[in-house]
Structure 1
Amino acid sequence: MADNIPIGFRFRPSEEELISLLWLKVTNQLDETDHVKEKILYGEGAEPWDVLGDDDVRWQFCDDSGKGASTKRMVYVFTKLRKLSAKKTARTAGLGTWDGETKSYPVEGMITGEKIGSRRMLSYVLNSGSIRVKGGWIIHEYWLDGALLNGLNSSHNTDYVLCRIIKDDSKYTKVKESAKKGKVAKEKEVGNRGCREVVLGKRKMNLEQESSQASKKSCSNPMDELPNLVNCD
């Protein structure tokens, strides 16, 4: 991708500006920009490290003060929600789910003070039965609301949202490796009678018992302990 960005340029839009960009997208006046691409964040095979690994995605450091090494980077994308109903949205993404971390908060216009949008935060969590693993990915999701939403009509696609995605490089690689192990474990499960699958961490135990005493077989797949997700302001 050709890079003709001026030296020192930083893409740091305000929340009101993000809502304005989204309004242009929803009203069919904008497809995407150099700094806000359209990506599919939900559905089968939509693990974030795969979806956001394309060359056209522009990552920026969250902290570019130069005071120390930063492991957090961010990118902006448009995505289309997978609506199950008027009030329910499918949040699965590959082997994981984007889980809500906060309630929704209003975004107001600076001049009018009117509500023009809303936002919430979600984090990527790998699913494995009762085991849930966070690590390194969060979304700040923005959507049209209030005055801007009320002015739309049926020709406008309100399923679009704009997302600021933050990745902590020090954490997400461990989750990515755990996901790979989970896929391998699921493939091997077909031929392993007597083993109960628990992906990403706990040892699989043989449930068959001998008449005199229990005989256990280990199908180990240990998971590195992951730290909790740290937000990036």
Structure 2
Amino acid sequence: MAMNIPIGFRFIPTDEELIGGFLWPRLMGMELPWNGIVEKDIYGDNAEPWKVFSDVVDGWQTKKEGSAIKSSIYAFTTLKNVPNSKRISRRAGGGTWGGQTGPKKIIRSDTGEIIGHSKMFSFERDDKAAPEDFGHWIMHEYSLSGRANGGDLVVCKITNCIKVSAASKKRAAQIDQDQLAVGFKKQKILFPAVEEEGFIVGDQSGQALDVDDDFVQSLIAGLDVEFVGGAGDESWLSAQF
């Protein structure tokens, strides 16, 4: 089970610390200084990021920037080759981790030695016209020097950016109402939010919108959600960021 970070602390490792303090010890079978880095198959069939991390509760770190909520998580994953090729497959369900930048060298500060490399990707869906909004997903991939081939283990920082806007409210109202909200059975969630002392709370108009599991999952992934009240068949939730 992942260890929670104490209140007031943030897991913000440098590139060098990710390589030397987590990836290398993990490969050597050594105990890690923090066990909140999950292990996931990021590539392959049915591996869209919102599905891969749908069961992860601990380990997320969330912050608000302007009108966006950014949730980040760290994960170990094993690279895979394209069949009958030495190229790395970046396919993930109905999309691809593309737009690669890098590789950027990661230098050990005390010796000047190159100990690894980092690359950045963004998740690109095949169906760009799909109505569902699962946010904008960015991945920073960190590998040991000379070990970024099929079968090699890497560590990734994956961030999902959700924009909270009037457009989000309109999309939510159009989502199929027959699906279940993740973890809350058939609930009505007051949204969009009004900022109030660091919390996202219900729409002041009191209008409840039915939303499906994928929308809720993408919106509140990584947030601490709690029940704050209800009336009849309506429940109000708040999510701290």
User: Which residue in 2 is equivalent to 1:120?
Assistant: 119
Checking the alignment, whether the CA contact within 8 Å between 1:125 and 1:132 is kept in structure 2 is no
> Residues 43 and 169 from structure 1, CA distance in 2 versus in 1: closer, same or farther, beyond 3 angstroms?
same
Which of 144, 155, 168 lines up with 1:162 in the alignment?
155
Partner-residue secondary structure (3-state), 1:22:
helix
CA offset at residue 50 of structure 1? 1.0
Checking the alignment, whether the CA contact within 8 Å between 1:61 and 1:70 is kept in structure 2 is no
The gaps in structure 2 that reach 5 residues or longer are 177-241
Checking the alignment, whether the CA contact within 8 Å between 2:69 and 2:163 is kept in structure 1 is yes
State percent identity of aligned pairs. Answer: 39
The one-letter amino acid paired with 2:102 is K
The one-letter amino acid paired with 2:106 is V
Partner-residue secondary structure (3-state), 1:104:
strand
Checking the alignment, whether the CA contact within 8 Å between 1:82 and 1:89 is kept in structure 2 is yes
The gaps in structure 1 that reach 5 residues or longer are 150-156, 182-233
User: Which residue in 2 is equivalent to 1:111?
Assistant: 110
User: Which residue in 2 is equivalent to 1:45?
Assistant: 46
The one-letter amino acid paired with 2:69 is T
Deviations 1:79-137 (A, max 9, x none): 01112378411111010000133120100011111100000100000114xx6889500
Q: Separation in 1 of the partners of 2:33 and 2:40?
A: 10
Deviations 1:15-42 (A, max 9, x none): 1110021111222335895320101100
Q: Separation in 2 of the partners of 1:61 and 1:125?
A: 22
Q: Separation in 2 of the partners of 1:132 and 1:23?
A: 41
Checking the alignment, whether the CA contact within 8 Å between 2:62 and 2:70 is kept in structure 1 is yes
Deviations 1:62-87 (A, max 9, x none): 56xxx856511211000011123784
Q: Separation in 1 of the partners of 2:7 and 2:92?
A: 36
User: Which residue in 1 is equivalent to 2:206?
Assistant: none
> Residues 125 and 45 from structure 1, CA distance in 2 versus in 1: closer, same or farther, beyond 3 angstroms?
same
The one-letter amino acid paired with 1:50 is K
The one-letter amino acid paired with 1:48 is P
Q: Separation in 2 of the partners of 1:74 and 1:55?
A: 12
The one-letter amino acid paired with 1:170 is K
Superposed counterparts of 1:28-177, under 5 Å: 28-30=29-31, 33-62=34-63, 70-84=68-82, 87-128=86-127, 136-145=136-145, 159-170=152-163
Q: Separation in 1 of the partners of 2:95 and 2:153?
A: 21
Deviations 1:119-163 (A, max 9, x none): 0100000114xx6889500100000006xx6xxxxxxx9610100
Q: Separation in 1 of the partners of 2:3 and 2:74?
A: 17
Checking the alignment, whether the CA contact within 8 Å between 1:25 and 1:32 is kept in structure 2 is no
Q: Separation in 2 of the partners of 1:31 and 1:158?
A: 21
- In the superposition, the TM-score normalised over structure 2's length comes to 0.57
Q: Separation in 2 of the partners of 1:142 and 1:72?
A: 20
Higher strand proportion (structure 1 or 2): 2
Q: Separation in 2 of the partners of 1:162 and 1:107?
A: 13
How many residue pairs get aligned? The number is 162
Checking the alignment, whether the CA contact within 8 Å between 2:79 and 2:151 is kept in structure 1 is no
> Residues 31 and 159 from structure 1, CA distance in 2 versus in 1: closer, same or farther, beyond 3 angstroms?
farther
Find the structure with the greater CA-based Rg: 1
Checking the alignment, whether the CA contact within 8 Å between 1:144 and 1:158 is kept in structure 2 is no
> Residues 168 and 56 from structure 1, CA distance in 2 versus in 1: closer, same or farther, beyond 3 angstroms?
same
> Residues 87 and 114 from structure 1, CA distance in 2 versus in 1: closer, same or farther, beyond 3 angstroms?
farther
Q: Separation in 2 of the partners of 1:110 and 1:141?
A: 20
Checking the alignment, whether the CA contact within 8 Å between 2:73 and 2:158 is kept in structure 1 is yes
CA RMSD of aligned residues (A): 3.4
